[in-house]
Amino acid sequence: MQMERAAQRGTPVIRSGGRSRRVLRAGLAATAFLATSSAGLSAYVGWRMTHPAHRFGEITPANAGLAYEQVEFPSAQGGLILRGWFMPGDGTSTVILAHGYAMHRMGDSAALPLAALLVEHGYNVLAFDFRGHGRSDGRLVSLGFYEKHDILGAIAYLRRRFAPRQPAIGLLGFSMGAATALEAIALAPDEIRAVVSDSAYADLHGYLREHISIWSRLPRVPFNWLILQVAQLLTRVRAREVSGLRALARTPDVPVLFIAGTADTLIPHEHTVHLHRVSGAVGERLWLVDGADHVQAFDRQPGPYGERILAFFDRHLRA
């Protein structure tokens, strides 16, 4: 009755049901747009993070007065050709350098001075670019999922180079390279005699779930989870399978020296503490450098750093 009277007087009639439906449709459209935009942005960021631009260093071992030769060898997975430098020492004991994410064979600030120190003390040094880095083949960077096979390719190269002798092999890894080195010992525990792990993440999935925002510069919620899921779908990289914690639990007999900075803003030093605890190693194999940021322990304390890794490799590669 009231609606009829309103119509007779010429008063507009507000039909609340129709308006509610329009508001609902607009809300659903906005939600769909936001979801699609978030998924698209996550796909873009995830793709860029797993396909960083190749970086090439201008320095060579000659900058430190070292003799070297260009080498290349296939990865143990996918047949990708990896390229690097072999710096000869006095015998067959060799340290493989494993660089960090989006770096190259000499991209980490400690790489060249430590290579010179190791060669000076008689070690051979093999520094190479992981797949998707430097001058090596490939585009996808998987943060250890595939790169562990690159280290196995480097070990196979050293076996061929020194055959019929068996080289004593150690690994010195930084950040992603350190995490990858821990993965590699689970695949070749009889060939890797010792590992120095500088600033590794303990578990890739857990690290990315909490810290992708550091790299993406997007809000942690919802993008950390969304980028991780979309990136795994696009690349088929299974982040849960990259876990230094599990690798160490399977290979407790391979000695590891753990190093991290207490002021690390990219990978909190608690990751290194957790790795050390799971490894069951004695306390002397954990060195936390006060005030050092990510992979900056050498820059902060170069003398003690060199002394520690030389003593460690001497004990396990020359015994």
- The pLDDT tens digits along the chain (319 residues) read 444 444 445 554 445 567 777 655 655 554 444 456 667 787 788 888 899 999 888 899 999 999 999 999 999 999 999 999 999 999 999 999 999 999 999 999 999 999 999 999 999 999 999 999 999 999 999 999 999 999 999 999 999 999 999 999 999 999 999 999 999 999 999 999 999 999 999 999 999 999 999 888 888 888 888 889 988 988 999 999 999 999 999 888 899 999 999 999 999 999 999 999 999 887 789 999 999 999 999 999 999 999 999 999 999 998 6
Query: Two tokens at 210?
Result: 């909490």
Q: 98: exposed, middle or buried (C-beta count within 10 Å: 0-12, 13-18, 19+)?
A: buried
Quick check: helix, strand or coil at residue 289?
strand
Token code pair at residue 240: 């849960």
Contacts of 233 (CB under 8 A, 6+ apart): none
Residue 6 sits at φ, ψ, to 5 deg, of -65, -40
DSSP code per residue over 51-102: SPPP---S--GGGGT---EEEEEE-SSTT-EEEEEEE--SSS-EEEEE--TT
One DSSP character per residue, 250-287 reads H-TTS-EEEEEETT-SSS-THHHHHHHHHHT--GGGEE
**Closest to 293 measured CA to CA, from 242, 259, 253:** 259
Domain ranges for the chain, please list them.
25-54+209-238, 64-203+242-317
Place of tokens 């449709």: 25
Q: What predicted TM-score, i.e. pTM, was given to this entire model?
A: 0.88
For 61, 92, 209, 266, the CA distances from 272, given in Å and listed in that order, are: 30, 30, 17, 12
CATH fold label, 64-203+242-317: Rossmann fold (3.40.50)
